[in-house]
């Protein structure tokens, strides 16, 4: 089994020049990432439906909640949107974050949020409680986001995984949107890694307790070393299972 350093070095030496190169490199990853990222928030997500939408653009004999299908399709739309930007190493900006959020949350805001004027692709207008946290005040969101982006977009970042951890932890702590902060934050983290020649990773649904604990610890202490180590372990898990096409067991 390859360790983290081997996986990171092998990825760094890849020569991803075209969308075909990227598609081949992420062939299995893109479906598993979409499945696990959605399932962390929505237990109704299935691997079968995710694969069908990514590979065929539709599902057959579906009887579940339409929001679940929107969430899966939105992951595919967002991936397709970001492919060229990954190859061009386009830096993250507030405008790109809002575009990503709009794609991921298309058709997924509930009536209560709509009544408050909230829309996919905008910063939140009200405060929302998540666990014990509410994030920053709405009027502070964009300033806080710009501060974090200025930090991670500095030239010559030597440790992209640490910078990606910093980005993700702060994004979730800011809680900039009325909904969809988790899946948006995970997408931003992996976009950042890919544009800095680092392998993307999956935060597995079965590891969400450790994931949430790391987020809560950062909110209380600003401690991120444990989260960086967690991301290293998830990177190893992601890429050592890649060739086996690790299919989730669904009962």
pLDDT at site 249: 56
CB under 8 Å to 234, separation ≥6 — which residues? 201, 202, 203, 204, 207
Domain that holds residue 228: 7-240
pLDDT at site 164: 98
Q: Higher confidence at residue 243 or residue 193?
A: 193
How much is the pTM? 0.94
| Selection from 241, 207, 201, 202 nearest residue 2 by Cα | 241
Residue 161 inside a domain? The answer is yes
| Selection from 22, 74, 20, 15 nearest residue 200 by Cα | 22
Local confidence band at 134 (pLDDT 50, 70, 90 cut-offs): confident
> Reduced to 3 states, what is the DSSP secondary structure of residue 133?
strand
Between CA 197 and CA 104 the distance in angstroms is 24
Alpha carbons within 13 angstroms on the beta-carbon side of residue 205 total: 20
Between CA 164 and CA 197 the distance in angstroms is 12
Tell me the backbone φ, ψ of residue 8, rounded to 5 degrees.
Answer: -65, -40
Residue 148 inside a domain? The answer is yes
- pLDDT reading at 194 higher than 60: yes
Mean pLDDT estimate for the chain: 93
> Could you tell me the CATH number of the domain that includes residue 36?
1.10.3290.10
- Provide the domain count of the chain: 1
Between CA 14 and CA 8 the distance in angstroms is 10
In the chain, where does DSSP find H-type helix?
Answer: 4-12, 19-25, 29-41, 47-56, 66-88, 94-104, 111-115, 141-152, 160-174, 181-194, 208-221, 225-240
Residue 247 inside a domain? The answer is no
Residue 170 inside a domain? The answer is yes
141-180 pLDDT, tens per residue? 999 999 999 999 999 899 999 999 999 999 999 999 999 9
pLDDT at site 244: 41
121-137: average pLDDT? 87
211-223 pLDDT, tens per residue? 999 999 998 999 9
Residue 250 inside a domain? The answer is no
């Amino acid at each position: 089994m390859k360790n983290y350093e081997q996986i990171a070095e092998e990825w760094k030496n890849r020569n991803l020049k075209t969308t075909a190169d990227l598609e081949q490199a992420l062939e299995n990853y893109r479906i598993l990432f979409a499945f696990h990222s959605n399932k962390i928030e929505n237990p109704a997500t299935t691997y079968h439906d995710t694969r069908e939408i990514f590979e065929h653009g539709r599902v057959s004999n579906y009887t579940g909640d339409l929001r679940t299908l929107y969430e899966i399709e939105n992951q595919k739309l967002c991936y397709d949107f970001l492919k060229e930007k990954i190859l061009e190493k386009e830096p993250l900006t507030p405008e790109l974050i809002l575009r990503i959020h709009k794609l991921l949350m298309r058709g997924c805001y509930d009536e209560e949020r709509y009544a408050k004027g909230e829309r996919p692709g905008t910063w939140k207008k009200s405060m929302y409680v998540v666990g014990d946290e509410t994030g920053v005040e709405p009027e502070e969101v964009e300033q806080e986001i710009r501060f974090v982006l200025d930090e991670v977009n500095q030239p010559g970042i030597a440790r992209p995984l640490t910078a990606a951890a910093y980005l993700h932890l702060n994004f979730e702590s800011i809680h900039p949107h009325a909904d969809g902060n988790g899946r948006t934050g995970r997408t931003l983290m992996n976009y950042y890694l890919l544009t800095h020649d680092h392998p993307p990773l999956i935060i597995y649904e079965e590891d969400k307790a450790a994931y949430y604990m790391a987020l809560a610890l950062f909110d209380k202490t600003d401690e991120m070393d444990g989260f960086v180590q967690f991301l290293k372990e998830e990177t190893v898990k992601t890429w050592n299972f890649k060739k086996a096409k690790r299919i989730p067991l669904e009962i």
